[in-house]
């Protein structure tokens, strides 16, 4: 009886608002009112008031020039107000800045949520040339150092759940990933060439919570520089890995 009551209670306005947020969250470009109504299979009249409320509450923004709507970072900010993550980010910011200055490389922290691995903190290299990722960027779980570390230090059930939510994995891909996971678990970190960007080596280290669970991954996308033409000291990959491990150790909450 209780289950029946729960399924009978509906909140149409809330449902429409959530549909709009979920739609915009998956778009690379802003959408017009008509595009939103078409993709949600709802009339413009059905979503008009909800769009106005979401804009007023700053969950989405409206561009008058293009008459389009896009997601703001408000939900991202709210999700990171959870105490463990807020604590992690507060502690991480000065450590990430110090790390970037010591090795002249950028660094970022990513966290897995709802099927996606998202950058939640980033610090750019002080050097004029560097590779960095913006906050909010989504990482490829199967083809990034951060993603491989995520898989390596997640509980087996969680790992299977993460893989099941990803598209494009073949049995061959999974065999390769399984071998990498075994290596990463043994050494406690990942170092490997980026499969997407030439000249970048991903150095990724897990960050653990109070119960020993994986809560995030910190990564240096190490950009190879020419020591003959660069006028400052260049920390090599081994030193950078060592410094990154020290930062991760300070960020562990266990």
User: What does the pLDDT look like over 73-82, one tens digit per residue?
Assistant: 888 888 777 7
Residue 238 has pLDDT above 60, yes or no: yes
For range 54-59, the mean pLDDT? 95
Cβ atoms 23, 35 nearer than 8 A? no
Q: What is the pLDDT of residue 10?
A: 79
Residues 6+ apart with CB under 8 A from 170: none
Q: CA angle 36-41-42, nearest 5°? A: 75
Parallel, antiparallel or unpaired: strands 200-208 and 214-223: antiparallel
Q: Domain 12-78: which topology?
A: Arc Repressor Mutant, subunit A (1.10.10)
Q: What is the pLDDT of residue 231?
A: 58
Residue 55 has pLDDT above 90, yes or no: yes
Structural class in CATH, domain 82-251: alpha beta
Question: Which stretch of 6-10, 178-182, 222-226 has the lowest confidence by average pLDDT?
Answer: 6-10
d(CA 43, CA 66): 20
Domain-by-domain residue ranges, the chain?
12-78, 82-251
User: What does the pLDDT look like over 160-188, one tens digit per residue?
Assistant: 999 888 876 777 788 888 999 999 999 99
Residue 2 has pLDDT above 90, yes or no: no
For range 8-12, the mean pLDDT? 77
d(CA 252, CA 7): 41
């Amino acid at each position: 009886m209780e289950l029946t009551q729960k399924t009978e209670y509906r909140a149409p306005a809330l449902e429409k608002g959530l549909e709009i947020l979920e739609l915009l969250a998956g778009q690379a470009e802003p959408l017009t009112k008509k595009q939103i109504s078409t993709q949600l299979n709802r009339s413009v009249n059905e979503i008009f008031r909800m769009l106005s409320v979401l804009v007023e509450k700053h969950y989405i923004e409206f561009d008058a020039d293009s008459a389009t709507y896009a997601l703001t970072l408000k939900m991202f900010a709210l999700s990171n107000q959870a105490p463990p993550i807020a604590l992690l980010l507060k502690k991480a910011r000065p450590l990430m800045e110090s790390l970037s200055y010591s090795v002249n490389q950028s660094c970022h922290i990513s966290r897995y949520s709802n099927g996606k691995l998202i950058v939640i903190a980033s610090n750019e290299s002080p050097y004029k040339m560097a590779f960095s990722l913006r906050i909010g960027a989504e990482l490829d779980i199967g083809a990034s150092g951060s993603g491989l570390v995520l898989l390596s230090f997640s509980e087996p059930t969680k790992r299977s759940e993460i893989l099941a939510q990803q598209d494009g994995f073949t049995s061959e891909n999974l065999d390769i990933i399984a071998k990498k996971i075994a290596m990463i678990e043994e050494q406690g970190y990942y170092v490997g060439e980026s499969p997407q960007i030439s000249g970048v080596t991903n150095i990724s280290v897990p960050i653990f919570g109070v119960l020993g669970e994986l809560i995030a991954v910190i990564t240096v996308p190490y950009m190879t520089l020419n020591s003959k033409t660069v006028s400052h000291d260049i920390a090599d990959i081994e030193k950078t890995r060592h410094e990154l491990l020290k930062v991760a150790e300070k960020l562990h909450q266990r």
